[in-house]
């Protein structure tokens, strides 16, 4: 179930990530949703949605990190 807009993202994403990081998450999730559509395209036993969320979080972590206060901030 790809996300059409940022408001469709899970609350657990919207509540913690800044807008730009949410855009990264959305794009990565949607791409992974399409890329890993068939079970044979995935490693392990994770379902399609789980894999897409893992890919999305990994994409966010390329550009953002958690500060000491627990906020997600853009890497310099």
Report mean pLDDT in 10-residue bins for the chain, 76 residues.
96 97 98 96 94 98 96 94
In the prediction, which pLDDT does 76 show?
Answer: 83
For residue 20, tell me if it sits in a domain: yes
Confidence at residue 40, expressed as pLDDT on a 0 to 100 scale: 92
Give me the pLDDT at residue 61, please: 98
Its domain, for residue 27, covers: 6-74
Determine, yes or no, domain membership for 63: yes
In a domain, 1, yes or no: no
| Secondary structure (H, E, C), the chain | CCCCCHHHCCHHHHCCCCHHHHHHHHHHHHHHHHHCCCHHHCCCCCCHHHHHHHHHHHHHHHHEEECCCCCEEECC
In a domain, 57, yes or no: yes
Decide if 11 is inside a domain: yes
Domain count, the chain: 1
Within a domain: 67: yes
Residue 22 placed within a domain: yes
Q: What is the CATH number of the domain that holds 10?
A: 1.10.1740.70
pTM for the model: 0.94
């Amino acid at each position: 179930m790809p996300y059409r807009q940022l408001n469709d993202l899970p609350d657990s994403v919207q509540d913690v990530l800044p807008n730009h990081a949410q855009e990264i998450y959305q794009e990565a999730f949607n791409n992974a949703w399409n890329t890993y559509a068939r079970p044979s395209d995935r490693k392990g036993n994770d379902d399609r949605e789980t894999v897409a969320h893992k890919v999305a979080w990994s994409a966010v972590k390329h550009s953002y990190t958690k500060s000491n206060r627990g906020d997600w901030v853009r890497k310099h």
